[in-house]
A and B are shown apart, each in its own frame.
Chain A
């Protein structure tokens, strides 16, 4: 079973995403902040990371930096608001994230993208 790490501080969104991904048969790890995200990246065997940009303690960019250093093979999807700074989004892409899904988003669309990335 593929394991996906979800780093999102909004409990409602993270729970919905988790529910949707579990429905597709994925195993999920849910964390609410950057520090817990770093620990999860270091300790878990992951197939995909889904992260928000604006999260407590460490932002999404720091998470991506860390993931790229420690687990460069794990694809990353950034799930964030378009309202957030364009510079940050561009930086995320430059760091080699696999996809960017702007909020508001459709969880079904997210599930399709996850499926596509994990297949490739």
Chain B
């Protein structure tokens, strides 16, 4: 159906372009009645057209003198009819009219003119030009000629702006559709070719990889000459980017799946095949995804020589690049401190914090990371991450530093520091907690009250009682009462006994219920 429509459309377009001859159907053949009458006079007999004389009462008149040339009072040519009319007028002084008969039916002058015009237009009769008395007949002759525009072919086409515009749109549509089809075909062909190559390269790679991993030792692999190595992985193939890509992917996949000496073998092979250069090259790419791929390769293959290049991406504006760069530096560097992380200007997302935390948690036992550096960062999210690190990896030795810092930090940071104090459960840093209990920030007060329940002192209990007397909102009141109960049961009981607030009594009952106290 679409093909049919397209063919019709193309045919129409062709007709629009090619039709340069148009008949002038609406052009009058005769300029006026006089020229028509002259034409009839000069033309003689016209097929289907006859004349006869009638008087005003439409009674047919027969001239006895001309009776021989008449058949039932009808004549075939207009000149004869005119002569007959003159003859009758001269002989009998009888005024007559000429009646026009088209196929024996009487018709008006105008209808006859139209009939003759049609005959001329259709070429059914040839006009007879008589002498030089045909000044007006030239119009008739001209009208008979087929219409031919002044501008022909291409010029005529371009002179009609609407047709040109429509044609241009149609042409552009076809070009676009054709390009899309061509693009899809090329894309599909390339993809198919790539899939075939992938299978082929996989087959080519598996055998030599297996042979090297199981037949050679690490020392043997490292001492292989280039020629020997090319026996496994041909130099010609190693020049093909897709082959190198497949090889890198397969070695990385194996490195993840295998353990023991095989990992070392794979890393040695990676370097022997100069695949590390391909990874380093990726780090210089302008495409962020290529850079991330390069960073992953550097990370997985322990390419420590790439640390300098990786550091260039630590403060990258791209989230994924800088996340992977930091993770790579943390994993690779033996002597890494966290100064590079301290100097990051972009805020750390929760995902990044989790990712870095996982690596640092794994590394901190074997490396000196200098977490305290993070406390001095200009980036608040980094400082907060530092406080969390102290908590998660249990650096009790840094609590003193945190206490010192707490005087000059934001309330959000105070919350994190107090959580760290509470988590590590060292009852020696109550100054910050007691100070925070007096804050206007309800979130900070709530966290401080909760911490006070675990590591607070007598001053904390006193402040909590003062806060309770100020009738805080329900949730805070509940936290305060719970903390007071945990901190000092005697003070808590005294407060409950003295309190006349029914809400306090209800919370107290809730807290003393063994089933509900943690709800």
> A interface vs B, CB < 8 Å?
10-13, 15-16, 19-20, 23, 103-109
- Asked if A16 contacts B210 (CB within 8 A), the reply is yes
> B interface vs A, CB < 8 Å?
202, 206-207, 209-211, 213-214, 250, 253-254, 256-262
Q: Given A20-B214, A107-B214, are A12 and B206 neighbors across the interface (CB < 8 Å)? A: yes
- Across-interface contacts of A109 in B (CB, < 8 A): 260
- Asked if A106 contacts B254 (CB within 8 A), the reply is no
Q: Given A12-B250, A12-B253, A20-B214, are A107 and B258 neighbors across the interface (CB < 8 Å)? A: yes
- Across-interface contacts of A106 in B (CB, < 8 A): 258-262
- Asked if B259 contacts A12 (CB within 8 A), the reply is no
- Asked if A105 contacts B206 (CB within 8 A), the reply is no
How many Å lie between the Cα of A107 and that of B215 in the bound state? 13
- Asked if A105 contacts B250 (CB within 8 A), the reply is no
- Across-interface contacts of B202 in A (CB, < 8 A): 11-12
- Besides A16-B214, A104-B257, 15 more A-B contacts (Cβ < 8 Å) are A10-B253, A11-B202, A12-B202, A12-B209, A12-B250, A15-B206, A16-B206, A16-B209, A16-B210, A16-B254, A19-B210, A19-B214, A20-B214, A106-B262, A107-B262
The distance from the CB of B35 to the nearest CB of chain A, in whole angstroms, is 93
Interface of A, secondary structure class, is helix
How many Å lie between the Cα of A10 and that of B193 in the bound state? 21
Q: Give 12 CB contacts A-B under 8 Å.
A: A11-B206, A12-B250, A12-B254, A16-B214, A19-B210, A19-B214, A105-B257, A106-B258, A106-B260, A106-B262, A107-B262, A108-B260
Closest partner residue, chain B, to A16 (CB atom): B210
The distance from the CB of A13 to the nearest CB of chain B, in whole angstroms, is 6
The distance from the CB of A60 to the nearest CB of chain B, in whole angstroms, is 16
- Asked if A105 contacts B214 (CB within 8 A), the reply is no
- Asked if A105 contacts B209 (CB within 8 A), the reply is no
The distance from the CB of A103 to the nearest CB of chain B, in whole angstroms, is 5
How many Å lie between the Cα of A12 and that of B254 in the bound state? 8
The distance from the CB of B269 to the nearest CB of chain A, in whole angstroms, is 13
- Asked if A23 contacts B214 (CB within 8 A), the reply is yes
How many Å lie between the Cα of A103 and that of B261 in the bound state? 15
- Asked if A105 contacts B210 (CB within 8 A), the reply is no
Which of A11, A13, A23, A104 makes the CB contact (< 8 A) with B259?
Answer: A104
How many Å lie between the Cα of A104 and that of B254 in the bound state? 9
Closest partner residue, chain A, to B259 (CB atom): A104
- Across-interface contacts of A19 in B (CB, < 8 A): 207, 210-211, 214
How many Å lie between the Cα of A23 and that of B206 in the bound state? 15
The distance from the CB of A52 to the nearest CB of chain B, in whole angstroms, is 11
The distance from the CB of A96 to the nearest CB of chain B, in whole angstroms, is 26
- Across-interface contacts of A103 in B (CB, < 8 A): 257
Closest partner residue, chain A, to B202 (CB atom): A11
Closest 10 CB pairs of A and B: A19-B210, A106-B260, A104-B259, A15-B206, A104-B257, A16-B210, A106-B259, A103-B257, A104-B258, A12-B250
The distance from the CB of B255 to the nearest CB of chain A, in whole angstroms, is 9
How many Å lie between the Cα of A16 and that of B31 in the bound state? 101
How many Å lie between the Cα of A81 and that of B472 in the bound state? 53
The distance from the CB of B292 to the nearest CB of chain A, in whole angstroms, is 22
How many Å lie between the Cα of A103 and that of B262 in the bound state? 13
- Across-interface contacts of A20 in B (CB, < 8 A): 210, 214
- Asked if A13 contacts B214 (CB within 8 A), the reply is no
- Asked if B259 contacts A105 (CB within 8 A), the reply is yes
- Across-interface contacts of B214 in A (CB, < 8 A): 16, 19-20, 23, 107
- Across-interface contacts of B213 in A (CB, < 8 A): 16, 107
- Across-interface contacts of B250 in A (CB, < 8 A): 12
How many Å lie between the Cα of A106 and that of B257 in the bound state? 9
How many Å lie between the Cα of A104 and that of B213 in the bound state? 15
The distance from the CB of B207 to the nearest CB of chain A, in whole angstroms, is 8
How many Å lie between the Cα of A80 and that of B257 in the bound state? 10
How many Å lie between the Cα of A107 and that of B206 in the bound state? 15
How many Å lie between the Cα of A104 and that of B206 in the bound state? 18
- Across-interface contacts of A108 in B (CB, < 8 A): 260
How many Å lie between the Cα of A71 and that of B119 in the bound state? 101
How many Å lie between the Cα of A105 and that of B261 in the bound state? 11
Give the most central of B202, B211, B257: most A CB within 10 Å.
B257
How many Å lie between the Cα of A19 and that of B493 in the bound state? 75
How many Å lie between the Cα of A83 and that of B213 in the bound state? 25
How many Å lie between the Cα of A58 and that of B41 in the bound state? 103
The distance from the CB of B256 to the nearest CB of chain A, in whole angstroms, is 6
The distance from the CB of B164 to the nearest CB of chain A, in whole angstroms, is 58
How many Å lie between the Cα of A109 and that of B256 in the bound state? 16
